[in-house]
Structure formats: structure tokens, C-alpha cells
Structure 1
């Protein structure tokens, strides 16, 4: 967070922040104070929009709610996003400036001044032939300068575009699992926080699916790591085929995968998970030449639904517990979180 208020302004903002925190029973921890100070300062419009939406819904600012606000807007991923956004805006500005320079030409003003001086020479009785010669010479010099400038501007524009492309490649690489092509856990965690905040603001449902490949170690030990990699890629393709719209599928770690399903209730999340399970179990893993088969790959899945105001960690813990219930009950199955833990809307 960066602020530039004077001492008196900062004191006023601090008083307003503390007053709002008292009104909404927000504990005055450093992180919470930072969030509410940023809100009243008006320097973080997205944060203010999120808080205003929660206030309009009479949402209770529980510990989970406060934690998500801080992590979403001021956590490490939020800072990374801010740096990236700023970099992109700077690049866009540079491109626009270069385009305007290309269209207008920086020599126009100087050239116009010289033309005016030539006009004065003629009006004062100067030699017309000499004036015309000088005008032609200056015109040619301006043309050459502009041609050189055009080349330099073109090179600068290309350099900026190359930089933009490189930065985007680096950003995608940092958020992607290199083996499977799915998002990695870092992106999964950050996107889940964003989706949970949106679900809280909009009053929408959200579910998480955890998936774990059955007997994956057996594949590696029996057929080697190359075959294990094929299994991971097969699972990734299956998840990509099933995920739609705003869904986020990621390799969570090792042989475990996660999917965020925004706007999805438990019933539909279970249907999604079952579809993934059936698709994967229906595929046969073969050698490259197709001469032999390693058999089918199965996966155990657990599903949980977000409960308004809870910390994201609780949502993930319930999905993880459901996943291990699937493992415990025989594998190759889908299990929902315990019925008594379901939100009322999902249980009805």
C-alpha cells in the first residue's frame, strides 16, 4: 500500500477507518486497519467496490471475510497483479504516444517557424530565388529527419510490442504447470480468492472439486516416470474437456488436481465431478505404438460448497476431507462434503 496524505489528512482517514471498523465489528488488527484505511482513502476503487457491495448485502465482516479482503487486494498475488497491470498501462501509454508522434511529426512546429521566417524575408524584399532555394533545402532536410524519426519510432514500437509479448509469456509461464499445461497451485489459490470474493459480493454459489489419481505411485513404479507423465497429461486433458466458462482447473500438486466452479451449486458440481470421473475411466492408456495397454486410469474426487463468510481454508479442508472419503470407500468415486456441513441452499 502506498499513501501520500499529510499528517492531518492521515489522522482524519484513520479516524474514519476506525469508526467504520467499530460500526461493523471489525477487529482492529494491522491487516484489517490497512484494508479499511485503504477503503476510506479512495485510492483502491476495486477494494471500495467490494466493501460497498458487502455493506449493501448486510454481510457480516467475519474473520474469513476480512482475511479474504486483505489477501485478495494486498497479498503477494495482489501485488504481483498490481505490478503487472501498471507495467501494461505504461506500455499502452508509450504505444499511444509513439502513434501520435508518428501521425503528427515532431518537426512540424520547427518547420513552420522556418517557413514563417522565409515569408518575412520575401516581404522585406529578400531575393526570391534565394528564399526558394533555402525553402527547398529545409524541406528536404525536414523530410530526411522525419524519415529517420519514422524508422526510429517503428523500431521503438516493435521493441515495446516484443517486450509486451515477452512479459505475457513470463506471466503465463509463472502461473502454468509446465508438464500438463493446466494452471498451477499459485494461480488456483489466487483465482479461488477472487472467485470467493465475487461469490460473497454477488450472493452466488461456488464449489471446489479436489481430484486425486488412484494408485498413481503404482503406475510410476511399474511402468516408469514417462508413463506417469502420460497419466498426468491424460487427466489434464480430461479436466480441460470438462471445464467451461469461468471454471478454473489446475494441477494442485503431484497427482492431485483442483477445479474451482464459480456460480455452481453442489448438485451441479457433483454432476461435473462424475462426468470427469466417467470420462477418465472410459479412456485406455496405451504405448506410443498402440501395441499394448496400461489399462484405464481412475480418480477419486471430493466436492465442497462455499459457505458465506467462511475462510477459504475451511472450504478447501472440506473438499480434501471428501476426497479422502472417496479414497477410503474404495476409490474411483465422487464424494460430497458431509451433509451436515452443507449450506442450507445446497442441502435443500
Structure 2
């Protein structure tokens, strides 16, 4: 008899402990079941759920359509811009006629330098002039363009923070952009001034940000254009979206700096390897002036120099591909 009583007490204790531990899950399941039963029985609630689902699908479709439109517009000429677009992206006030005039002058200078100072035959001097005139002006424009992109990328998160603070203070987006156009550093100042001018001639803000990406084709402006386009078409909390964008841009910058520091050893090694042949040639020219003269005064030497230059360019291009990290 005592054994039965003890067994019953143990069972009651286990039941009480189970109820204590599983009370919340039982209650939540009961509430869920009651809620589902009420939804099944109440047609108004079912209509609300269906309408919310339809609204969510419509918003998702609007976002997808806006993203497709933005991608089609920005990918039109961003992959390989022509020389006119590159001049504009570099921030230079240079016409196409002036650019080709400078290219012709550079070609003539390269040809004269190759003939008079290096003693190249006319056909090689002419080839050197063509390479000099066709490559040097474009290289200078690309250098200025990339440097401008880097300056814009450094200043751009600060501009987004200004927009976020202005929106939280109750200012409209256009007024926030005007503040940036007045007080920001170049080139952010001039690019946001173009945004204001675009909206003043009738473009929407999303269309103006697409033009911003055409002027500064970087991932940062692409993200900004996507955020503005989605907010304009589907709505949403713009300040929160831009806050997240600013944080992402700063994290990208930290990652780029980290990659730069990690890859510095490889870049230094590549620079030493690339400059070593020229250093050896210079030392030989100083110590034994006549030793390498046949490379410059004979036809065989010219061929050797031409092949060597081609191999050097090929090797430098490979090393540049290996040490440049894009993410």
C-alpha cells in the first residue's frame, strides 16, 4: 500500500514539473489555435490577411520593376564608357577637339624623341609616336578619373550622414541635398549640385541619382541610386535605409584599407621585379657605356628591344592583375 501511494506521489510530482516546464508552450499553442479558429470563422480578418498579402506582393513587384529599370539604365554605358564620358567623369572641361589635338601633339613629340634621342629608324619612331600619342592622354585622363572617384568615395558617407540627420530633423530630401551641394568637399559638392540642377529641370530624384551613377560609376553611387529608387516607388523609411547604407560604405572602406595593407608586400615585390631590368640597364650604362650600345644602333638590337618591351609589358600586366584586388 505504501508503495502505491509513493508511486502516485511520484507521478503527481512528475506531472506538476512537466506542467511547470511546458506551460508556456502549451499556452502559446492554445493561443495560436484559438487565433487560427477565429481567423477561419471571421471573414473580415481573412480579408485583411489576403489584402496584406496582395499589398506585399505589389510592393515586391514594384521594387523588382524599379531595380530592373535602374539596372538597364546604369548598365547601358557604364561597362566601357567612351572618351567623352571619361573626360566628364574626370571632371575636366575639355572638348573632344582639344583632346585629339593634344593626342596629335603627343604623337609628334613621341616620334621626335624616338628618332632624335633614341636613334630609332623612322618606322619604329613613327610607331612609338602613335603609341605615345594614343596612350599618354588617355592614361592621364584615367588617372585623374580614378583619383576623383577615390576622393568622392571617401567623402560620400559623410554626405549620406548629412541626409540622414536632415530627414530625421524633418527636412525634405531636396533640402538635404542642397545643404551638401553648398557645404561638402569636392567632388561631392559638384556632383550633388548636378542632382539639384537635374531636379530643377523636371527629373525625379530617382532619375537624377541614375545620372549621378553615370557621372560617378562606383558601387557606392549604385547603392545610393537603388535606395532612392526603391523608396520613391515603394515607400519606406528612408533615414533607416540611408543609415544602413552609410554603415555598409564605411565597412567597405575599412575592408579596402585592410586589403591594401595586407597586399602591400606583394605590390612592393612587383615594383622591385618590374624596375629591376631598368636599374640593371642604367648601372651597365654608367659602368660600361659602350656595352649595350648595339641594342640602340643595330637592327638586331632594335628587334631585341622591341621584343623585350613587349615581354615587359605583358609581365607588368600580369603582375598588376595579381596584386589588384576588387571586391
TM-score by length of structure 2 reads 0.28
Q: Which has the larger radius of gyration?
A: 2
Q: Which structure dedicates a bigger proportion of its chain to helix?
A: 2
TM-score by length of structure 1 reads 0.27
Q: Which structure dedicates a bigger proportion of its chain to strand?
A: 1
